[in-house]
Chain A
Amino acid sequence: MSTATTDTVTKPGPGMRFTSAAANYIDERTSASGFVRELGRKIFPDHWSFMLGEVALYSFVAILLSGTFLTFFFDPSMTATHYQGSYVPLKGVEMSVAYASTLDISFDIRGGLLMRQVHHWAALLFVASIGLHMLRVFFTGAFRKPREINWVIGFVLFILAMAEGFTGYSLPDDLLSGNGLRIIDGMVKGMPVIGVWISYLLFGGEFPGHDIVPRLYVLHIMLLPAILIALIGVHMLLLIVNKHTQFAAPGRTNQNVVGSPILPVFAAKAGGFFFIVFGAIVLIASVFTINPIWNYGPYDPSPVSAGTQPDWYIGFADGALRLVPPHWEFVFLGYTWSMNILIPILVIMVFLVLVTFYPFIEAWITGDKREHHMAERPRNAPTRTAIGAAGVTFYGVMWAGASSDLMATHFMLTIEGVIVALQISLILGPIAAYIITKRVCLALQKKDREIALHGFETGRIVRLPGGEYIEVHEPLNEYDRWRLVAHETYRPLMIRPNERGRITVGQRVRAGLSRWFFEDRIEPVTRSELERAHHHE
């Protein structure tokens, strides 16, 4: 880019000469200019929902910076020590070095508490923004070919982020995180036959042992961040290769991308936005406390606190465990089969696998092998949107399960009542969400069709000479109409015999699913319909 500037500027100042010389120097040795030019011409669409991924990226940067600060002072050792720092209610109490060093970071190291709070708030924001970003991609169908791989990578990132968070909040070795580890230990031990072996391997002996914090530390600051960074790199690369999707509008087609190029417009905006995100995190971290580990005390296997919850992103798993009805364990072949643990784990696994492979599942059902670069409006894919709403409801109910006790105390309900209500919602909620969402989408499509053909209702009633009353409709302009008609729909697949003249089971399933997806549909407005409508006016 600096070469371009020297061409147009007649008399380059000394600063300019230096930058161009430096750029030349680097380019001659790395040939980076080709890459920069490519990257610089990458177009970024102007829709707010495309910035959610950026929020995730920038909060990750905040995590990296604050996390590095924390590594300077955190000591991941479970050796026992007596606290001698400045927090009075823990003076002289026996605790692990890990907990003591976290207390020191909080009370005796300048800026330490702020950094801890930045790190933790940024972690919450990181996972939340990934989640919302994922929902955006899902509901606009941006995961369709050629972006299926990037969907899978993104979802793996989401799971890794949860793992990063869980290993992180187990590090301070306080009562709350120890309770969390205890639950993990219980889940592992709930696996028949191998559970206890795995638990001993994981904890280096009987829980809690002396190894778990150092082990989690290695995962937390080395292995997981390395994988995360590598995958984020691939994610970005694929983003550049595949380009962004965009919402339909005049001039936007499946073959182009309309928006600002990264250089210079978008880079400037993104740079500014980075500081906004970072600033928001620091503001929150300096005003609101998070994970006040000094309240919780050092880990000790005997006490358990009321209201023990994990961070929000692990909440759905905690909730799943809480929603299991009692008496699901039984003894068989000399082993205790803890179905109360195994079934929720299984349900969560199935849920995660379905989400991971959703793009492939949908592509198989539609039989669509084309590339898609237009973001769909959620209403124009009613079944997918309804499935998404059902999934969100399912996740949301499990998530609510994790705070069932707080709902009981804060809304003056009985905890048993809350649990039963959530158990029912876990089954019926997604079904209701599915039906309602699908109907709403179809109704909205119908309305769009109406407006595209006949324009807006103006509310102006006119009496015709013949005595008839009509409402005047205002026709749409071309731009707005494009938005309403530029989409397509699928028809259910027909079952056709294969080369051998047979109909396979796979085909039947596929046809059945396809019918489920596309049986109810509103046909998009066709050109001839539009023209006929125009003649009418």
Chain B
Amino acid sequence: MAKISRKHRSTGRRSPLATVALLAIGLLTTGGAYALATTTATAESQAAAANEQLIEEGKKLFAANCASCHGLNLEGSKEGPALVGVGALAVDFQVGTGRMPMAFQGPQAARKAPQFTQDQIDAMAAYVASSGPGPALPDERFLEATGDAAKGAELFRINCAMCHNVAGAGGALTEGKWAPQLKGLDARYIYGAMVTGPQAMPVFNDLNISPEEKRDIITYLDYVSENPSVGGFDLGSLGPVSEGLFIWIFGLGGLVAITVWLTARSN
């Protein structure tokens, strides 16, 4: 009985059909996998090639415009710091706000009209980023002014106002450096400044101020730039100094002119 049953089992196992089926499945999976693998590989190599091209272009632009100060291999020189690992965001901020290429050696590289198109900036950013890991451009959603303005205002007062003034009107630092005024800035540069901490500005990394909180600050600064001063002309948001000058020159000055006129007529 047992023999019969064993034989029966073995015949079922060696069925030629099953072998064919197995073979077919094996072939299909490996072939499919191979095909799949080869297509992704081409896509990857295409992207890599494109990136290579961008980096190459960036490298050229960099060599022509920046290497005199930062060195041909980002190693830095007497004129400028090494840029290895500063990240794409630092380049985007520095070149996008026109600070780089630096025009002249002063206490601080000043903001000016940008000298490059966004594509060229992206190329140089890619080149610098390829030298080592550094902060990259943030996710778009952190750049939208849709956060909590009140929370942003509070964060701004605590972290930024001592240099940039509460109303973002800017202020003086030591040795001729200054914190610029922050009206009407592009959100990406606000984000970039916080993450990369240009020059005398400290770095606010994601542990200090989370990306969501950075968005709140951007929202607040956007509110201040977008909404006109409610009380009338703001005299540059410079506070009591401009108010005092105004009252002396135009307020009292105007009234003195009127008194001179009034008494001159009666004489």
Chain A contact residues, CB within 8 Å of chain B = 46-49, 51-52, 55, 88-93, 106-107, 113, 117, 121, 124-125, 128-129, 132, 175-176, 260, 269, 273, 276-277, 280-281, 284, 286-292, 294-297, 300, 302-313, 315, 402-406, 408-409, 412-417
Q: Which B residues are CB-close (under 8 A) to A406? A: 172, 238, 241
Q: Tell me if A288 and B176 are in contact (CB < 8 A).
A: no
Q: Tell me if B157 and A305 are in contact (CB < 8 A).
A: yes
Q: Tell me if B254 and A280 are in contact (CB < 8 A).
A: yes
Q: Is the CB of B248 closer than 8 A to any CB of chain A?
A: yes
Q: How far is the CA of A287 from the CA of B234 in the complex (A)?
A: 9
Please tell me the size bucket of the interface on B.
Answer: 35 or more
> Nearest-CB distance from B160 to chain A (Å)?
9
Binary CB contact string for chain B from 142 to 153 against chain A (1 if under 8 A, 0 otherwise): 000000011011
Q: A289-B235, A291-B240, A300-B157 are in contact. List 6 more A-B contacts (CB 8 A).
A: A48-B263, A113-B231, A124-B244, A129-B252, A288-B235, A409-B170
Q: Tell me if A306 and B244 are in contact (CB < 8 A).
A: no
Q: Tell me if B175 and A312 are in contact (CB < 8 A).
A: no
> Nearest-CB distance from B230 to chain A (Å)?
7
Q: Tell me if A117 and B161 are in contact (CB < 8 A).
A: no
Q: How far is the CA of A51 from the CA of B258 in the complex (A)?
A: 10
Q: Tell me if A48 and B256 are in contact (CB < 8 A).
A: yes
> Nearest-CB distance from A168 to chain B (Å)?
13
Q: Which B residues are CB-close (under 8 A) to A413? A: 176
Known contacts A124-B244, A402-B241; A292/B234 CB under 8 A: yes
Q: Which B residues are CB-close (under 8 A) to A304? A: 161-162
Q: Tell me if A46 and B153 are in contact (CB < 8 A).
A: no
Q: Tell me if A90 and B172 are in contact (CB < 8 A).
A: no
> Nearest-CB distance from A89 to chain B (Å)?
4
Q: How far is the CA of A42 from the CA of B7 in the complex (A)?
A: 142
Instruction: Name which residue of chain B comes closest to A277, CB basis.
Output: B255
Known contacts A51-B259, A129-B252; A305/B246 CB under 8 A: no
Instruction: Name which residue of chain A comes closest to B159, CB basis.
Output: A303
Q: Tell me if A288 and B238 are in contact (CB < 8 A).
A: no
Q: Is the CB of B43 closer than 8 A to any CB of chain A?
A: no
Known contacts A124-B251, A284-B251, A416-B174; A305/B165 CB under 8 A: yes
Among B212-267, those with CB < 8 Å from A are: 220, 223-224, 229-235, 237-241, 243-248, 250-252, 254-256, 258-260, 262-264, 266-267
Q: Tell me if A292 and B176 are in contact (CB < 8 A).
A: no
Known contacts A89-B149, A90-B153, A413-B176; A132/B252 CB under 8 A: yes
> Nearest-CB distance from A451 to chain B (Å)?
21
> Nearest-CB distance from B242 to chain A (Å)?
8
Q: Tell me if A311 and B232 are in contact (CB < 8 A).
A: no
Q: Is the CB of B84 closer than 8 A to any CB of chain A?
A: no
Most chain A CB within a 10 A radius of its CB, from B152, B224, B246: B246
Q: How far is the CA of A305 from the CA of B256 in the complex (A)?
A: 35
Among B177-208, those with CB < 8 Å from A are: 178-179
> Nearest-CB distance from B244 to chain A (Å)?
3
Binary CB contact string for chain B from 129 to 147 against chain A (1 if under 8 A, 0 otherwise): 0000000000000000000
Q: Which A residues are CB-close (under 8 A) to B80? A: none
> Nearest-CB distance from A534 to chain B (Å)?
28
Q: Is the CB of B107 closer than 8 A to any CB of chain A?
A: yes
Q: Tell me if A106 and B243 are in contact (CB < 8 A).
A: no
Q: How far is the CA of A287 from the CA of B254 in the complex (A)?
A: 15
Q: How far is the CA of A124 from the CA of B244 in the complex (A)?
A: 7
> Nearest-CB distance from B73 to chain A (Å)?
35
Residue in A113, A303, A415 whose CB lies within 8 Å of B157: A303
The 3 A-B pairs of least Cβ separation, nearest first, read A306-B171, A312-B244, A289-B231
Q: Tell me if B164 and A306 are in contact (CB < 8 A).
A: yes
Q: Which A residues are CB-close (under 8 A) to B232? A: 117, 286-289
> Nearest-CB distance from A114 to chain B (Å)?
9
Q: Tell me if A47 and B154 are in contact (CB < 8 A).
A: no
Q: Tell me if B171 and A405 are in contact (CB < 8 A).
A: yes
Residue in A89, A106, A292, A310 whose CB lies within 8 Å of B153: A89
Q: Is the CB of B126 closer than 8 A to any CB of chain A?
A: no
Q: Which A residues are CB-close (under 8 A) to B231? A: 106, 113, 117, 288-290, 292
Q: Tell me if A125 and B251 are in contact (CB < 8 A).
A: yes
Q: How far is the CA of A92 from the CA of B229 in the complex (A)?
A: 21
Residue in A121, A276, A309 whose CB lies within 8 Å of B239: A309
Known contacts A47-B263, A48-B259, A88-B223; A307/B149 CB under 8 A: no
Q: Is the CB of B72 closer than 8 A to any CB of chain A?
A: no
Instruction: Name which residue of chain B comes closest to A47, CB basis.
Output: B263
Q: Is the CB of B24 closer than 8 A to any CB of chain A?
A: no
Q: Which B residues are CB-close (under 8 A) to A277? A: 255
Give 21 CB contacts A-B under 8 Å: A48-B260, A49-B259, A52-B259, A117-B231, A124-B247, A132-B252, A175-B157, A175-B161, A269-B266, A280-B251, A289-B232, A292-B237, A306-B170, A306-B172, A312-B245, A312-B247, A313-B244, A403-B241, A408-B178, A415-B175, A416-B175
Q: Is the CB of B66 closer than 8 A to any CB of chain A?
A: no
Q: How far is the CA of A366 from the CA of B88 in the complex (A)?
A: 77
Q: Tell me if B157 and A297 are in contact (CB < 8 A).
A: yes
